[in-house]
Structure 1
Amino acid sequence: MALRAAQSAKAGVRAARPNRATAVVCKAQKVGQAAAAAALATAMVAGSANALTFDEIQGLTYLQVKGSGIANTCPVLESGTTNLKELKAGSYKLENFCIEPTSFTVKEESQFKGGETEFVKTKLMTRLTYTLDAMSGSFKVGSDGSAELKEDDGIDYAATTVQLPGGERVAFLFTIKQFDGKGTLDNIKGDFLVPSYRGSSFLDPKGRGGSTGYDNAVALPARADAEELLKENVKITKALKGSAVFSVAKVDPVTGEIAGVFESIQPSDTDLGAKPPKDIKVTGLWYAQLK
């Protein structure tokens, strides 16, 4: 019986994912446009008939979740309202904050002379381990419709790799770490930290690292300070910055659940300072509980 239930759960999730992804890709692009984002996000946040609510996910066994992809999805809201005025003003504790990306694009220069740079679609190379979950923070709602969102702790970063149409692979640390945003419920803007993809103890193929390893390439000690080699020898693990916009699409005043869409832009991996970062645009769903 358990095996049969697990197979049923897997089939349900696999059938649901294309519907959710298709909806988000086109709708989350407009998250910065307040009125449009709220209207377009409603159907997408509700999910398909096979999407799971928080209680449904909590009721699943390990075997039902294992290998199904459920662990890489955020809960959806089946009840509640799209009338954001139903959310009472006050200070809330944010729990079970979950962010599920559904689209990754990378900013690339145009292939045509004089063309503008644009975000191009990519192929995801990472397995289903890129959703951020179990995060906590604070959420404030003003009587005038203003809102503040802060992220404090949780599983707030995930190593991710995408592939460009030409075959180049771009690694980045998808994150929303220490996000601090302000605005209105349908347009909360803010910045967040993007930690280094590699740590200071990581050694490159020549044994060079930030806090350990050689100071320079062993075969070229006399040229260690040469400009063309300096960026390879001096490892930089400084955190960079990203920006994001969150839009609330649906709330449930009874359960305290809240959901919406988001869009973030962050830098990619710099190979410890050896190469300039690329801009990564991530769009998708988010869910949280207000206490």
Structure 2
Amino acid sequence: MRFRPLLAVVLALCLTLVTACSGGAKAVDRADLTYDDIHNTGLANDCPTLPDSARGSIALDSNTKYELREVCMHPAEVYVKGEPANKRQEAQFVATKILTRFTTSLDQVYGDLSVTGNGVNFKEMGGIDFQIVTVLLPGGEEVPFTFSSKELDATAEGAAISTSTDLNGAYRVPSYRTSNFLDPKGRALTTGVQYAQGLVALNGQDDELARENSKRYIDGTGEMNLSITKVDASTGEFAGVFTAVQPSDTDMGSHDPVDVKIVGQLYGRLEKA
């Protein structure tokens, strides 16, 4: 019994040393992990990060071509804009619960970064740049959407990547459903049937029913902000937060989309092309 206080002190000292020694390391270092280490743990959905001491800056040369590589965006919070209580109030974003577990992050996104007369410009070119996500509203309604960074064209002021860099731009949001998807009544864009109720019953007078029957592939447009708060000039790494506002799923045109706001962690690496 008399050894318990001494044991507690030793354990506390060990935890302190471990925390201090790991302060400069990435929170998620997947390079040294095996498949078994990651499988069914959710680690593959996390983004790397940088320590708080990474407060550097990377100057950019207008005569040099650059690329952003390994860009990772991990959604931490998702909000859906709901209907206002009355006409005098504006619609507000409502916090939701993310139902999709381990496949919400965009990863290995890459693209060209160029220095322009007004600042810098990033054009996304590829990577794992879309994910299918579903969230749950407080009232029990589920809202699906395609989280994307496809064709992101973002600009920022200045000629450097620093802790004050904010890249803002628009991107394409692909349809949640593909053309071959069959709804419960067997309707689709390129397969199945078009009029599940029959031509006579439809009679060409029900607009809502026509929207359900005539499927369409509809792309949307989102707006994204990449706010860089940490920079390691020696490795070219950066980290921060992102905010994206985009439309939700329309079930191939059968209903109107709602605005979805996604907020989360950002990581990437700058290198010369």
Question: What TM-score, normalized to structure 1?
Answer: 0.76
Q: 2:45 aligns with which of 63, 66, 72?
A: 72
- Displacement, 1:260? 1.7
Q: What amino acid is the match of 2:113?
A: F
Q: Rg bigger for which structure?
A: 2
Partner SS, residue 181 of structure 1: strand
Whether the aligned pair in 1 keeps the contact of 2:168 and 2:224 (CA below 8 Å) is yes
- Displacement, 1:94? 1.8
CA deviation profile, 1:229-281 (whole Å, cap 9, x unmatched)? 21111111121111111112122222111222111000000011011001000
Distance 1:50 1:267, change over 3 A: farther
Partner SS, residue 273 of structure 1: coil
Q: For 2:143 and 2:241, how far apart are their aligned partners in 1?
A: 24
**Does residue 204 of structure 1 match 2:183?**
yes
- Displacement, 1:104? 0.2
Distance 1:115 1:166, change over 3 A: same
For structure 2, list consecutive stretches of 5 or more residues without a partner in the other structure.
Answer: 1-21
Q: Which residue of 2 aligns with 1:132?
A: 106
Distance 1:236 1:66, change over 3 A: same
- Displacement, 1:111? 2.9
What aligned pairs does 1:88-103 form with structure 2 within 5 A after superposition? 88-89=60-61, 90-103=64-77
Partner SS, residue 48 of structure 2: coil
**Does residue 242 of structure 1 match 2:216?**
no
Q: For 1:243 and 1:161, how far apart are their aligned partners in 2?
A: 19
Q: Which residue of 2 aligns with 1:190?
A: 169
What RMSD over aligned residues (CA atoms) do the two structures have, in Å? 2.3
Whichever structure has more helix as a proportion of its residues is: 1
Q: Which residue of 1 aligns with 2:136?
A: 163
Question: What TM-score, normalized to structure 2?
Answer: 0.81
Q: Which residue of 1 aligns with 2:91?
A: 117
Whether the aligned pair in 2 keeps the contact of 1:52 and 1:76 (CA below 8 Å) is yes
Q: What amino acid is the match of 1:70?
A: L
- Displacement, 1:221? 4.1
Q: For 1:182 and 1:50, how far apart are their aligned partners in 2?
A: 30
CA deviation profile, 1:124-144 (whole Å, cap 9, x unmatched)? 111111011111111234687
Partner SS, residue 188 of structure 2: coil
Partner SS, residue 64 of structure 1: helix
Q: For 2:81 and 2:70, how far apart are their aligned partners in 1?
A: 31
Distance 1:216 1:143, change over 3 A: closer
Q: For 1:141 and 1:79, how far apart are their aligned partners in 2?
A: 27
- Displacement, 1:164? 0.7
Percent identity over the alignment is 40
Deviates more, 1:251-260 or 1:171-180: 251-260
For structure 1, list consecutive stretches of 5 or more residues without a partner in the other structure.
Answer: 1-47
Q: Which residue of 2 aligns with 1:283?
A: 263
Q: For 2:209 and 2:148, how far apart are their aligned partners in 1?
A: 30
Distance 1:237 1:50, change over 3 A: farther
- How many pairs are equivalent? 241
Q: For 1:163 and 1:274, how far apart are their aligned partners in 2?
A: 20
Distance 1:87 1:142, change over 3 A: farther
Deviates more, 1:186-195 or 1:89-98: 89-98
